[in-house]
């Protein structure tokens, strides 16, 4: 790995400048020679705009990273060392449907672990598995760093249905929680260490340390009494203090969908009526970002990008890549094969857990187990991820209905069926595996 | 065990005549010398009525079983061989509150695995653990056959918080499913064998056999297309056929509460308004039964008892006792320690599973595992049972809130808290462990 | 399965008359129409002799079982319902080498779990896997009942390297132990029940019951003080009483090889010098048996066969077949997939354990776990079985050396290599997988 | 932990100067205020000699570490931050008996995982558990760093029979293997990383990396062809190349006792006759060391100490203490609770495995599992450690015999009993738990 080649699939994403900035900042330790930004022809305008900005950024920073734009994935993958994926099949329009259709049935769409996440998975997994197959052939020693959502389900699918072993799933929730705790305590985030365990968007902080001292109880007290950790995209309703005390571990912002379903549903319905769903809000934000990117004088990541919601994602990717490349042996929370780190989850399933990051990849640190109270919900999401992955690969209608029905946000098999049918039709263009001919569903 | 002594705690129950009939029918193989019916003084009228009927029954049947009535539990337990428990702390009035209070918040009460079940457990578990402690002292070799609900949670509590090892939990759902399948197929129930696995009221038929031939698919087809297995106390709304096909195993009637929550809630609200909750319907039925029992000419189990809802319960108990006594080695589904029979559930947790019944108790037969799709829900109920058991033993308010919030029928931590507070107050008389003085809750 | 067809591979074995007797005695419940005795052409003389005796036996017993003799395995397997295997690749001559070569190095050969067993496995497993492949094609619904040794290793290999799922391994050690305990107690063996758990020839009685009462301690006392359970083929040296007391479970006769290695080695060396190895003794016994079989007036199993050492083997097979055919649900110890029955052994490994025998095969009854003291030795034999199976399938020299070296009877990697080389050469004709050409070993 | 207090039990050991040197070298990062060297009155001469040297060392190095000598363990433990134990109950005289008695029976004594180790454990564990109890009371927040052998058995005993949770077992074998590999490759040891997994003195290098690149195969090749990794105290006989290739992982020097038992026994017998057993050789070495220590001009660790055999032990302890104190998060192989890191070993057993070292202790990194071929031997040592620990705590004769008999170096229950009886008598003074009165063994 003398001259590092990084390939970013979905390179036209509005997040790309953060990624470029991350690589620039780390150039000394991570001397990337080529950064390939790859997208589909339909995304040409965005890719060119983002690509031009990227070129201005490396030029201004005076680092010799070559920026390549490409619409030919195979050409780009050849001899890559790291492949990052940040794709959004069907774009924000598809996400808006993932949110709006369930809300018609008084169900939260939830674009990762809810009905919306099911459809995001059905659209995304086949594309990711295609990339895996190409990588096996074109760059068999490369690492796949996936941060396309639903990252947990995608990692599960890659572990289960691909031969690629060098794969990691990445999320910004853990780093967001760490930042949130630091802010809550008024300390520098470097002094905070959180023991993470769970699944993607279903992760817990099982212990929190400040300068190596365990301060979990203090953080739970603050969380009980205040407003807690927030994320740009999730309403904060506060927690019942006694519930948090009894839980004994730090929930992530996404847990609100499951422990406060009724209130979150109401908030989402109201939001939809007032400002549109999150996808629609994000779409507007992205439009503004791309306007900014066009400015030929802009040669740094614009501060507005941090408002976007996925903050830290790309930086987490850069940090991970550098730790692998440099065999750092530092600790980062990633999505990887469990290997016994969480006792009550299957040995071979994808989990989100603190790992030692080495040149041979992430090695999970044992957390023993999650408290008994949360094992059910966590296993339910794992069941959902596994059944959904299988449906994504097989295009089996019944499996898709099963995944929809067992999702904890869905409370009726008949509503599940209605949503499924409406969403299958709405996303038909991106779900070829479910259609033998253009118009007929594969039911068995 | 030359002269068998059976003690029935809660002997004044309307079910007792079925139990007595069961013992009479098995007298040849299970020669009981003494049957002690024990109750609390407040249940005197019922116990005397049922006791008189029991005496007429054994007399008419000409079997030399002595019927003893007692209000002194310790006296009764002395040297017992089998102790059955069929208690209802707080009577049907308490159950009515368990149903009505949650419905005020648009939540299904569900008297075993729902919020109602939580409170039934909080009231019942301390009494059962008292009985266990007395048995350790007064009849250490006796078997405890529990069929007080919530039977799964009670069995978990006995395994975890008592030293009694000779204990079995019993339920009529598996036998009801077997009868239902036999009826569906138009065959004698003796020809049907179902492989059961799961938890109490959360049990699945993982395979079905007719005369030893596997007919699971046929049964699933019938279940998909028809109205399915019914129980007296649970509305049958039919299943989505594709869901059942994808599930691949036979759900129990109680699964409707979780896979059809929305519809079941509506049905319960309507029922409450029209005929009262199930507790209120049952109360009326029981009143009629006790009227019948008073008839001095009645000397057999009246056929109306079969309409009561708990059919087969008492007969299952008699069959179990006989198999233990006679070391039969036959197979019965009971609630017992998992011991690896269901891979994804903890080794030391209570499960409902087919067992070989021997003189040294039930030995679980391995079913490998449940399908991945249902593991989440099953683990969620197991998490609920464990947290609820702990709350029942400790009287810890926060633990009780945790149990309430993680229940799959509850969708909000703040509604959980409101229900909890209202139910704690309503059931105050039966929950001394939660109150340090008469009026103040033990919150920590 | 209207007209039962049973195929016995290795039909010319001296054990066959016991098998035929077993089928005759069970004809009412197990109405076999055709019994095919199959052997290789080299075994013609024996097969014809045994076959003629079998025909006389069924004729005398007046049961309409047709006896077919065949040298064409595929023809025989067509539409079979049950296939039993009792093969001995290389005959007793090979077994004699398995015993004599190790003894030259002061190592016990032990024809199942020792160096001899390694070679028996290397010769036998490929043949059994061939039979499995033929069965998949010619009689996919048939059950394979294997009682060719090393039965544990063979079952492990079938589970791991074949697609056949209807397979059971059988051994006479458990039934021998049951008979031994009955004799020790002076009671009828039907009253004794032993909970078996472990591996083939490495099985323990974890609890013993008489008429349903636990009498394990009594049996251990007797075993400590007396001479214990014996088998025809294993010297009985007595056990150290305190060792047996601390063990707390009943060892099988084969455990002497591991807990009394030094003394057993000396006894075997002496025996070899005085009467020849066990194989040579057996060969003489078999010669006498075949002389008897030739007698045209003999039409029953001669009593001398019971002296042969493998008593009960064939009867156990008949009993097993009948329980499967009749879906009896009775309990028998067999070799099958663990499925959690023994906690500390892999879930998917072959174990020897009590099972409920149904039409869909054996279902293991959970024994929780073996005592910690024996887990090491048991796992060591399991490791040996797995590495040996792999070597048998791959013909890999290094794997074979690994299997030899980790065997608990072998105490040196260099002696292991010397024995391996000498045995590979001696058995060359039966180990084609190890030789790419006639004279050169496949070393990698 | 402002002013660090370290207590070293067995402070009069000849190893102490290495420990003191380690603390001096790390003073900047690990500012120890007080180092208490504690010993029993019988060890006064040694303690004073070593203590005087220690004082000269810190003086010369100009670090303000106060050296305290004490014969009052409780006084020393008060408010300690770290407690290290390097005790040898019965001194080298006892070890010599642990070696000589088994050799009389042609059994290798092996002072950690053999019969000798059993007796070392029986003598040492009660003392360590006493220390644990005192620590719970006098310095409940302190860490116990044990490097008294048998370190694996001792760690198992502390985990199982004490309430102390802050405990780590330490060994110099892993660091010795790392040094050996570095030497073999001719590189600096800092560039080598080995993934360790197994038990104490039964540890494997499951993968080896040079500068982050996996070079396991290269190291195995070198090990196959050359003389391998050596330790001062273990004869190197070379390995069978094909065995090492098939093993696929790096054995530790102690594995020779199990895979080359016959040759090692012969070498030990020869050594005993020529130079005395290892204990006797060490005793002479120690005599020379203590002569050196007396030199009032000596103020550094003398180079001769590195010849002693336990090199790196004390330095490993200093490094571990510093990583805990500084919450370094670096990776070190230690003995700790498994927590799923090695799948086939019990979750709650002590293992030797790479851990992330933090202020809250070592957190095991998952290695998935050991190869199937070695699981048996490893489990056998674990079984031995557990049964031996129980015997050490209970003083139960039968348990001790069980431990002796299941040890893989012992091949006969009757020889086990003879050795046990002779060793119990020889060590009588140090085994009060086995004697109810001075002369009678507690047999049950």
Express each pLDDT in A165-206 by its tens digit. 999 999 989 999 999 999 999 999 999 999 999 999 999 999
- Written as six digits, the tokens of B107 are 């939540």
Total beta-carbon pairs less than 8 A apart between chain A and chain D: 72
Chain B residues bordering chain C (beta-carbon distance below 8 Å): 193, 207, 209, 211-214, 326-327, 329-331, 339-341, 343, 347, 356, 358-360, 363-366, 368
| C76 Cα to chain D: minimum distance (Å) | 38
Low-confidence ranges of chain D (pLDDT < 70): 1, 226-228, 230-233, 309-311, 437-444
Please name the member of A356, A358, A366 whose beta carbon is closest to the beta carbon of D339.
Answer: A366
Q: How far is CA C345 from the centre of its chain?
A: 20
Average pLDDT over every residue of A29-51: 96
CA angle A410, A413, A418 (to 5 degrees): 85
Confidence at residue B442, expressed as pLDDT on a 0 to 100 scale: 60
Please name the member of C373, C415, C443 whose beta carbon is closest to the beta carbon of D406.
Answer: C373
Q: Which residue of C has its CA nearest to D443?
A: C242
C327 neighbors B212 (Cβ within 8 angstroms): yes
Cis before residue C94, ω within 30 degrees of 0? no
Q: What is the DSSP letter of D441?
A: B
Q: Is A259 a catalytic residue?
A: no
Express each pLDDT in C201-236 by its tens digit. 999 999 999 998 899 999 999 988 865 676 666 777
Confidence at residue B231, expressed as pLDDT on a 0 to 100 scale: 67
Chain D residues bordering chain A (beta-carbon distance below 8 Å): 193, 207, 209, 211-214, 326-327, 329-331, 339-341, 343, 347, 356, 358-360, 363-368
Of residues C254, C293, C312, C325, which has the active-site annotation? Answer: C254
Dist CA D412 CA D382 (whole Å): 19
Whether the predicted pLDDT of A2 surpasses 90: no
CA distances from C167 to C251, C334, D194, D386 (A): 26, 10, 42, 36
Confidence at residue D86, expressed as pLDDT on a 0 to 100 scale: 93
Confidence at residue B296, expressed as pLDDT on a 0 to 100 scale: 93
Helix (H/G/I), strand (E/B), else coil: C311: coil
D444 interaction partners in chain C (CB closer than 8 Å):
245
Dist CA D102 CA D124 (whole Å): 19
Express each pLDDT in B290-302 by its tens digit. 999 999 999 998 8
Confidence at residue C303, expressed as pLDDT on a 0 to 100 scale: 85
CA distances from D127 to A150, D45, D428 (A): 55, 21, 15
Express each pLDDT in C367-419 by its tens digit. 889 999 999 999 999 999 999 999 999 999 999 999 999 999 999 999 999 99
Chain A residues bordering chain D (beta-carbon distance below 8 Å): 193, 207, 209, 211-214, 326-327, 329-331, 339-341, 343, 347, 356, 358-360, 363-368
Residues 6+ positions from D93 with CB-CB distance below 8 Å: D279
| D103 Cα to chain A: minimum distance (Å) | 42
Residues 6+ positions from A266 with CB-CB distance below 8 Å: none
CA atoms within 13 Å, Cβ hemisphere of D27 = 15
Of residues D161, D193, D254, D397, which has the active-site annotation? Answer: D254
**Touching A: which chains, 3+ CB pairs < 8 A?**
B, D
Please name the member of B261, B383, B398 whose beta carbon is closest to the beta carbon of A375.
Answer: B383
D360 interaction partners in chain A (CB closer than 8 Å):
207, 209, 212, 214
Express each pLDDT in A302-336 by its tens digit. 888 877 766 677 888 999 999 999 999 999 999 99
Of residues B15, B161, B193, B254, which has the active-site annotation? Answer: B254
Share of chain B above pLDDT 70, in %: 96
| A261 Cα to chain B: minimum distance (Å) | 5
CA distances from C427 to C101, C122, C270 (A): 11, 10, 25
- Per the CB < 8 Å rule, is D387 touching C372? yes
Whether the predicted pLDDT of B184 surpasses 60: yes
Average pLDDT over every residue of A288-299: 93
Best to test chain D binding among C411, C419, C421, C442 (most D CBs inside 10 Å): C411
Dist CA D350 CA D339 (whole Å): 9
Please name the member of A214, A331, A366 whose beta carbon is closest to the beta carbon of D364.
Answer: A366
Whether the predicted pLDDT of A233 surpasses 90: no
Cis before residue C140, ω within 30 degrees of 0? no
CA atoms within 13 Å, Cβ hemisphere of D433 = 19
Express each pLDDT in B332-370 by its tens digit. 999 999 999 999 999 999 999 999 999 999 999 998 899
Please name the member of D340, D360, D366 whose beta carbon is closest to the beta carbon of A363.
Answer: D366
Whether the predicted pLDDT of A412 surpasses 90: yes
Lowest-pLDDT range of A152-161, A361-370, B199-208, B307-316? B307-316
Express each pLDDT in A98-129 by its tens digit. 999 999 999 999 999 999 999 999 999 999 99
Confidence at residue D6, expressed as pLDDT on a 0 to 100 scale: 98
Share of chain A above pLDDT 90, in %: 85
C323 interaction partners in chain B (CB closer than 8 Å):
none
Lowest-pLDDT range of C102-111, C332-341, C435-444? C435-444
Confidence at residue C221, expressed as pLDDT on a 0 to 100 scale: 92
Of residues A254, A293, A312, A313, which has the active-site annotation? Answer: A254
Burial of A435 (0-12, 13-18, 19+ CB in 10 A): middle
C349 interaction partners in chain D (CB closer than 8 Å):
none
- Per the CB < 8 Å rule, is C343 touching B347? yes
Q: Do chains B and D touch (3 or more CB pairs under 8 A)?
A: no
CA atoms within 13 Å, Cβ hemisphere of A109 = 23
- Written as six digits, the tokens of D237 are 């006989």
Phi-psi region of A165 (alpha: psi -120 to 50; beta: other; left: phi over 0): alpha
What is the overall mean pLDDT for chain B?
93
Dist CA C173 CA C194 (whole Å): 12
B125 neighbors B153 (Cβ within 8 angstroms): yes
Whether the predicted pLDDT of A444 surpasses 60: no
Q: Do chains C and A touch (3 or more CB pairs under 8 A)?
A: no
pLDDT-derived band at A440, boundaries 50, 70, 90: low
Confidence at residue B203, expressed as pLDDT on a 0 to 100 scale: 97
Average pLDDT over every residue of B47-71: 97
Dist CA B280 CA A97 (whole Å): 45
Confidence at residue D385, expressed as pLDDT on a 0 to 100 scale: 98
Confidence at residue B227, expressed as pLDDT on a 0 to 100 scale: 58
Q: What does R_g of chain B's alpha carbons equal in angstroms?
A: 21
Dist CA B254 CA D381 (whole Å): 49
Express each pLDDT in B402-427 by its tens digit. 999 999 999 999 999 999 999 999 99
Lowest-pLDDT range of B8-22, B134-148, C272-286? C272-286
Share of chain A above pLDDT 70, in %: 95
ipTM confidence score: 0.94
Phi-psi region of D10 (alpha: psi -120 to 50; beta: other; left: phi over 0): left
A239 interaction partners in chain B (CB closer than 8 Å):
413
């Amino acid at each position: 790995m003398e001259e590092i080649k990084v390939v970013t699939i979905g390179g036209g994403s509005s997040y790309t400048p953060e990624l470029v900035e991350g690589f620039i900042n780390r150039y000394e330790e991570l001397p990337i020679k080529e950064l390939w930004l790859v997208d589909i022809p339909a995304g040409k305008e965005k890719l060119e705009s983002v690509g031009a900005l990227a070129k201005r950024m490396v030029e201004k920073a005076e680092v010799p990273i070559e920026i390549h734009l490409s619409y030919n994935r195979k050409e780009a993958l050849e001899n890559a060392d790291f492949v990052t994926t940040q794709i959004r099949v069907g774009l924000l329009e598809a996400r808006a449907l993932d949110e709006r259709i369930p809300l018609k049935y008084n169900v939260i769409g939830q674009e990762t672990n809810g009905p919306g996440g099911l459809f995001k998975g059905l659209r995304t997994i086949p594309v990711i598995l295609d990339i895996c197959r190409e990588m096996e052939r074109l760059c068999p020693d490369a690492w796949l760093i996936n941060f396309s959502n639903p990252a947990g389900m995608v990692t599960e699918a890659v572990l289960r249905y691909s031969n690629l072993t060098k794969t990691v799933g990445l999320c910004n929730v853990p780093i967001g929680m760490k930042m949130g705790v630091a802010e809550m305590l008024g300390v520098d985030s470097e002094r905070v260490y959180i023991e993470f365990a769970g699944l993607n968007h279903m992760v817990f902080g099982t212990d929190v340390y400040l300068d190596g001292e365990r301060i979990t109880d203090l953080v739970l007290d603050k969380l009980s009494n205040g407003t807690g950790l927030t994320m740009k995209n999730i309403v904060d309703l506060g927690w019942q203090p006694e519930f948090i005390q009894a839980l004994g571990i730090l929930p992530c912002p996404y847990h609100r969908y499951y422990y406060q379903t009724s209130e979150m549903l109401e908030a989402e319905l109201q939001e939809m009526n007032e400002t549109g769903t999150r996808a629609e809000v994000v779409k507007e934000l992205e439009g503004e970002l791309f306007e900014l990117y066009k400015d030929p004088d802009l040669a740094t990541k614009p501060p507005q990008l941090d408002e976007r919601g996925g903050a830290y994602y790309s930086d987490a990717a850069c940090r991970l890549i550098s730790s692998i490349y440099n065999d750092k042996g530092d600790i980062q929370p990633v999505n990887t094969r469990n290997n016994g780190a969480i006792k009550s989850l299957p040995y071979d399933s994808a989990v989100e857990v603190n790992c030692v990051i080495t040149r041979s990849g992430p090695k999970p640190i044992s957390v023993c187990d999650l408290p008994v109270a949360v094992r059910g919900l966590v296993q339910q999401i794992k069941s959902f991820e596994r059944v959904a992955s299988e449906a994504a690969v097989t295009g089996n209608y019944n499996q898709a209905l099963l995944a929809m029905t067992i999702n904890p946000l869905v409370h009726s098999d008949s509503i599940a069926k209605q949503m499924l049918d409406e969403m299958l039709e709405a996303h038909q263009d991106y779900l070829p595996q479910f259609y033998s001919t253009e118009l007929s569903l594969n039911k068995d």
